[in-house]
Amino acid sequence: MENNATVKKDRVLSLIQPTSVPTLGNYLGALKNWKEMSEDNDCLFGLADLHAITVRQEPAKLRKLSYEMYALLLSIGLDPDKNIIFTQSHVPEHSQLGWILNCYTQFGEASRMTQFKDKSAKHADNVNVGLFAYPTLMAADILLYQADYVPVGIDQKQHLELTRDIAERFNGAYSPTFTVPKPYIGKAGAKVMSLQDPTKKMSKSDPNPKASVSLLDKPEDIMKKFKSAVTDSEAKVRYAEGKDGINNLMSIYSCCTGLSYEEIERDFDGKGYGDFKTAVAESVIEELRPIQDKYSQLINDKAYLEQCAADGAEKARRIARKTLDKVMRKVGFWQIKK
């Protein structure tokens, strides 16, 4: 019989920016997979607050959103006793390794990142160096912990590829130092689209409130948003090219109910979009209900949340420090006895 104590679990890491309450897109594309992976892997999850300031944030709002996002991570079912749930800025090694990795990344490589191009177009008045160095800090987040898998939505795949290139380059220049991580992109939900423009991804920074569903939206608001979702004029529930709105609703419904597209098409054969939209909204409301219930219990327990965040930071630091020490030695920094 296999001795479980000696089986090494995979290390999984992912972060989310505390820039607003997460959307259904963040949940189905990332957070739901975090929860599933947390059951039998060695996981670290947390808040990318250093990344959040690459776009101007209001200090009081960032502080509040970080606290709320931390509570939400516990509310989706992540267990702080079994996994490490932490905040990036509480672990200074992220910034330290981020700087070093900047020096192992080419200007041309960072310039090719589509998120950088998109965000610099969107925030043309603040194209700061941090926005440019965003992917090297993200690489540091991942490589510090020797992560095997990184669950993210498909929009982050390019950053993961760059992380792998940086890791391989560093390992090749010195000796094996970093685990080369793999992205984990769920089949369904990898790209949830806006309810108002289904050719665009659902984004928490979308100014149109009808375009996205937040994890803390009230059931009646969720129902209203789905009822006003943009679809097409065919009035037939089927997954097909050119039916972006319906495809998006089918993908959301499939994630929340576990039904395949064929089963959905069969169940809604001969029914109109009105019935389908109601069913999708109800499935989302049911999916979010336990999360919202847990959140309302946790959010006022400041002492508990702060204790979890402090423990998480300490546990994360212990791992991060080891990797950073190794990197600093290899790069040739002068080591002095502490």
Catalytically annotated residues: 119, 201, 204
In the list ligand ATP, ligand LTN, none, the entry touching 191 (Cβ below 5 to 8 angstroms by class) is ligand ATP
CA angle 294, 76, 290 (to 5 degrees): 45
Choose among ligand ATP, ligand LTN, none what residue 19 binds, the Cβ cut-off being 5 to 8 Å by kind. Answer: ligand ATP
Contact range with ligand LTN by CB under 6 A, out of 12-20, 168-176, 224-232, 254-262: 12-20
Distance CA 312, CA 46 (A): 9
CB of 17 to ligand LTN, least distance (A): 6
Q: Which is nearer to ligand LTN, 112 or 271 (CB)?
A: 112
Instruction: For residue 79, give the amino acid letter.
Output: D
List the single partner that 25 binds among ligand LTN, ligand ATP, none, CB under 5 to 8 Å by kind.
ligand ATP
**Binding-site partner at residue 138 among ligand ATP, ligand LTN, none, CB < 5 to 8 Å by type:** ligand LTN
Report strand pairing: 182-184 vs 149-151: parallel
Contact partner, 50, from ligand LTN, ligand ATP, none, Cβ < 5-8 Å per class: none
121 Cβ neighbours under 8 A, 6+ residues apart: none
Strands (E), the chain: 11-16, 42-47, 84-87, 149-151, 182-184
- Torsion (CA) 204, 207, 211, 214 in degrees, nearest 10: 40
Mask for 155-184, x = binds ligand LTN (CB under 6 A): -x----------------------------
Token pair listed for 59: 């200090």
Assess 25 for contact with ligand ATP (CB under 6 A).
Answer: yes
Q: Give the nearest residue (CB) to ligand LTN.
A: 48
Q: Which does 217 bind (CB under 5 to 8 A by kind): ligand LTN, ligand ATP, none?
A: none
Q: How many chain residues interact with ligand LTN (CB under 6 A)?
A: 13
Q: Which stretch binds ligand LTN (CB under 6 A): 8-16, 34-42, 55-63, 254-262?
A: 8-16
Which residue's CB atom is positioned nearest to ligand ATP? 29
**Helix 273-298, helix 219-227: angle, nearest 10:** 150
Long-range contacts of 30-37 (CB under 8 A, 24+ apart): 30/151, 30/152, 30/153, 31/73, 31/76, 32/76, 32/186, 32/189, 32/255, 33/151, 33/184, 33/186, 34/73, 34/76, 34/78, 34/151, 35/76, 35/77, 35/78, 37/12, 37/149, 37/151, 37/184
Closest CA to 219 of 165, 313, 289: 289
Q: Where are the beta strands (DSSP E) in 75-208?
A: 84-87, 149-151, 182-184
b/e map 239-269, b = 16+ CB within 10 Å: beeebbbbbbbbbbbbbbbebebeebbeebe
Which of the residues 196 through 215 are near ligand ATP (CB under 6 A)? 201-205
Give me the 118-147 binding string for ligand LTN, x by CB under 6 A, dash otherwise.
--------------------x--xx-----
CB closer to ligand ATP out of 189 and 312: 189
* Binding flag, residue 29, ligand ATP (CB under 6 A): yes
In DSSP notation, 85-108 reads: EEEGGG-THHHHHHHHHHTTS-HH
Pick what 315 binds: ligand LTN, ligand ATP, none; C-beta below 5 to 8 Å, kind-dependent. none
Nearer to ligand ATP, 29 or 98 (CB): 29
Residue 48 in the binding site for ligand LTN (CB under 6 A): yes
Q: Which is nearer to ligand ATP, 90 or 191 (CB)?
A: 191
Widest CA span in the chain: 75
Which positions lie near ligand ATP, rule CB under 6 A? 16-17, 19, 23, 25-26, 29-30, 152-153, 155-156, 190-192, 201-205
Q: List interacting residues with ligand LTN (CB under 6 A).
A: 13-17, 48, 51, 138, 141-142, 150, 152, 156
